[in-house]
Chains A and B, each alone.
Chain A
Amino acid sequence: MIEMLLYSAITLYGVAILIALYRIAAGPSLPDRVFALDIVNVNLISGIAIISILLDTKAFLDVILILGILAFIGTISFSKFIERGVIIERKRND
């Protein structure tokens, strides 16, 4: 029963990722795409969590944490890029 639920959950996450992918590919504006990438990341985190349950291992918890951090950093850097045109600003005026 649990296993079936997990399978259906991961399938739904997969569908969500596919939909987000469509947005990445087609999205009319850049923020659309960045947002969709964030969704992909979040769904990936959930997917990996479910896979670790299915595989019955703790080894992938690190991956989940790292992905969480990276998804955050990635989205931030994209946003900064969209807003300022650069990611790392120069403090000096030379």
Chain B
Amino acid sequence: MNKVILGRYIPGESLVHHLDPRSKLILSFYFIIIIFLANNWQSYALLLVLTLGGVFLSGVSFGFFLKGVRPLIWLILFTVLLQIFFSRGGTVYWQFGPLALTSFGVINGSYVFCRFVLIIFMSTLLTLTTAPLEIADALESLMEPLKKFKVPVYEISLMLSIALRFVPTLMDETEKIMNAQRSRGVNFGEGSIMKQIKAVVPLLIPLFVSSFNRAEDLATAMEARGYRGGEGRTKYRIHFWKRNDTLACIVFGLATLVLLYLRNW
């Protein structure tokens, strides 16, 4: 379970860490959109500089980013190979039945590869430098306008933050139940698929039951502490939009302009 890079946060004091989570969230999404504007080497080089700049400023070691790519490597290679062998056009280097290696194919394949890697790098940068709870805060604050459409923004964000807070607790509990069941002779991850599925039942049911009990306890404790819903509450945790956030947005804005220019080079 330690392989999961999503939600893994590396505390730090860098420039990127101190950005407002809202600006980080918006900019990461924005980056993923503008990546699809890039259509030649110059534009990809620009995006690469932008990403590496962010990585460098975050002060997080490069290895973590490579780890983010690793679980997806087969998906990336599969897509890239499909692009390479099934694209037509340009000089034909080699051909065999429906498969063909063409200059267009090679270029398209490398573009797809670049896109994947850049998107993964940028989203890893977001999760590595932003605590899960900050992301939840950012989502709440960005969903604020939805309140006009009767979306229970506060409740959603409370659920999100409680869910995040209970992830490690439930992980521990899963481990405990697994070990307890193992000590009583349950084999996890062995035998045929049917057997493996059956072995999960003595893990899932206790976990469900204990989650219900936890929920009940937590609800009682929350009520005893005066929780009556989102109305009339104040907030302890507040994020401030700082000069650096505006600066980051300007950098991304300029990058977009340059990108649009490079596109038609």
Q: Do A and B come from one complex?
A: no
Residues of B within 8 A of A (CB): none
